[in-house]
Amino acid sequence: MEKILTIAIQGIKGSYHHVAVEKYFGREADFVECATFKEVPQAIEDGVADFGVMAIENSIAGSLLQNHKLLGLYGQKIIGEVYVQINHCLLANKGVRIEDLTEVESHPMAILQCENFFQQYPEIRLLESNDTARSARMVATKKMKTTGAIASELCARLFGLEILGRNIQTMTNNYTRFFVVGHANEQIPKDADKASIRFVSKHESGSLARILSVFAMHGLNLTKIQSVAIMERPWEYAFYADVMFPSLPTFMSAMEVVSHQTEELEIQGIYKHNVD
Active-site residues, by number, are 176, 178
C-beta contacts of 183-192 below 8 A and 24+ residues apart: 183/44, 183/76, 183/77, 184/75, 184/76, 184/77, 186/77, 186/79, 188/248, 188/270, 188/271, 189/79, 189/80, 189/270, 189/271, 189/272, 191/272, 192/248, 192/270, 192/271, 192/272
| Encoded amino acid at 21, one letter | V
Q: Rounded to an integer, what distance in angstroms lies between the CA atom of residue 185 and that of residue 50?
A: 12
Question: Which residues, listed in sequence order, are joined to residue 24 by a DSSP beta bridge?
Answer: none
Q: Rounded to an integer, what distance in angstroms lies between the CA atom of residue 232 and that of residue 123?
A: 50
Are 149 and 34 within 8 A, CB to CB? no
